[in-house]
Chain A
Amino acid sequence: MTESIIELKNIDVTFHQKKRTIEAVKNVSINIDRGDVYGIVGYSGAGKSTLVRVINLLQEPTRGSIVVNGTTFFQSDEHSGQKTRISNNDLRVRRRKIGMIFQHFNLLNERTVTENVAFALQHSQLKDDEKKAKVAELLALVDLSDRAEQYPSQLSGGQKQRVAIARALANDPEILISDEATSALDPKTTNQILALLKKLNTEFGLTIVLITHEMQAVKEVANKVAVMQNGEIIERGSLLEIFAQPKQQLTREFIETATNIDKAIETISHEPLVNKLKDGEIFARLSYVGETTDEPLIAGLFRDFNVTANILYGNIEVLQDTPVGSLLVILSGDPTQLQTALSTLHDHHVDVTVIKGGN
């Protein structure tokens, strides 16, 4: 049984600048369930950061309603536009249950690692020695116990982000908002941070909202994805649905950057093999999800239709324990047989895109 922990309804965020109105978020509704790792993907300027800042009211929306963990943070009346907002005191208390990490870490430069984490515990009910123990426990969790007395300037980017995570977790939040938290890190460190987030999700049931422009990061940890463009969510679904059957052009672009398939097509297209396709040959992309990959697909093509497949490129991802594959192949055989083969593939839920040939 899943229940929504974050419900955003009809959120509008409009900024008024001199002579200019910017609609950063337009009529976005989103439900995030407890235990989700919800990836929100988009290019910079798409409105993703503004949207997540709405969750803990760092950004007050122009219109809409925000309910977090059963508490209404903000609500605007549909007709009168009358806004009601949680009191500042209540908001501060609730915010302690919503951790947040940032692209540039935002650590207190003049405090040590320990003091940074303890800063979040200022209003905690814990006694002093319990606070100390809590900080030590958090630093152990993010594997930074040996850096406790150092200042942020003495740490690497990945270490800084881990301090930020420890700080965000200090008040045992149920939600963690990650605003481009891995965007300033190198690929290896990015993976370490993502692995840590994944661990927090699976071991502690932490709900994570992950904002990023890197599909790669989403692919590693998210179970649901929303794609944002110009302040709107243009596509959303489970990670598998999005990866296997992207509907929007932008979504496809994002996925291709994560799988490198666009580069592969580009490179292979210049190969003589593809450049000079013979009659009856087609250059195609086969995409499939899940169980299909267990069947001897390529062997079946030859056995049943006498169609040979020359595999030029292959990529298989395992997303949420389900294999998702893409193959770039040259299929050759008798034209009629080839057509039947293609429709058989289709029946087996293999998505076939003919890139070249087959006229």
Chain B
Amino acid sequence: MSQWFTNTFPNVVYQGWSGDTGWWTSIVQTLYMTFWSAIFGGILGLIFGLGLILTSPRGITPNKTLFWIFDKVVSVFRAIPFIILLAFIAPFTKLIVGTQIGTTAALVPLALGVFPFYARQIQVALAEVDSGIVEAAQAIGSSFWDIVFGVYLREGLSEIIRVSTVTLISLIGLTAMAGAIGAGGLGNMAISYGYNRFATDTTLVATLLVLILVLVVQVTGDILAKKFNHK
């Protein structure tokens, strides 16, 4: 079995397990990048998504100026292709994390790259919350924060989980590109050590690992979304 594996996937074995370019290192790098950029990008996206809903003309605190700002920031950042964003914001990255390259440096462009997408997703998810329920909450004298947390985020939870799953999966896709600034990860493994070196077996295994990761996220998201849906 082991002999068969070594013969069939020589380059996979060559990469090793725990070294700088090993498989375990790549997996950890991908998880690290996905996790932290999901946290930072997620918070930013949630704030902008909520902002878009609350300040829209039909929201609970209509505000043309704020809405315009939220809308334009999201649109502009969404319009920049990720690979260009990586390079474009390098000075800003250096300002925040002290370096322009490496796994941690990738968090800045990843978070900034994913947040506008997530903000739009959140906007759509929260728009699904019945405006009648919001009106009923206003009629019983609920405060602004009651409505944000008690109505929008609570009633929209299932839908928020669903769009978060979609966003997380697209974020895993973005981490593959972060290899361009030396962030490592499974995407980098597939391209730099697999494709570029004609090591098809390495590309295949790296792709399979990404696929498993995506599948785990998808299934977990589906289960949670269902659990929190009582409609």
Contacts and interface: CB of A to CB of B under 8 A. Distances in A.
Given A109-B231, A122-B146, A102 B136 contact: yes
B17 interface: no
Given A108-B133, A119-B150, A153 B141 contact: no
A337 B154 CA distance: 76
B151 interface: yes
Most buried by B among A96, A100, A106, A167: A106
Given A95-B139, A119-B140, A107 B230 contact: no
Contacts of B231: 109, 153
A254 to B, nearest CB: 26
A120 interface: yes
A122 B135 CA distance: 16
B143 interface: yes
Contacts, number: 75
A47 B184 CA distance: 63
Interface residues of B, number: 23
A23 to B, nearest CB: 20
Contact of B135 (A58, A109, A111, A152): A58
A130 interface: no
B140 A96 contact: yes
Interface string B45-63: 0000000000000000000
User: DSSP majority for the B interface?
Assistant: helix
Interface string B120-149: 000000000010110111111111001000
B142 A110 contact: no
A108 B139 contact: no
A128 B51 CA distance: 33
B140 A167 contact: yes
Contacts of B155: 108-110
Contacts of A111: 154
Contacts of B130: 104, 106, 109
B227 to A, nearest CB: 11
A58 B135 CA distance: 8
Contacts of B150: 108, 119, 122
A92 B157 contact: no
21 contacts: A58-B135, A58-B139, A92-B142, A92-B143, A94-B141, A95-B140, A98-B139, A106-B130, A106-B132, A106-B133, A108-B154, A109-B133, A109-B155, A109-B230, A110-B155, A120-B140, A122-B142, A153-B230, A167-B136, A168-B140, A170-B140
Interface of B: 130, 132-133, 135-143, 146, 150-151, 154-155, 157-158, 228-231
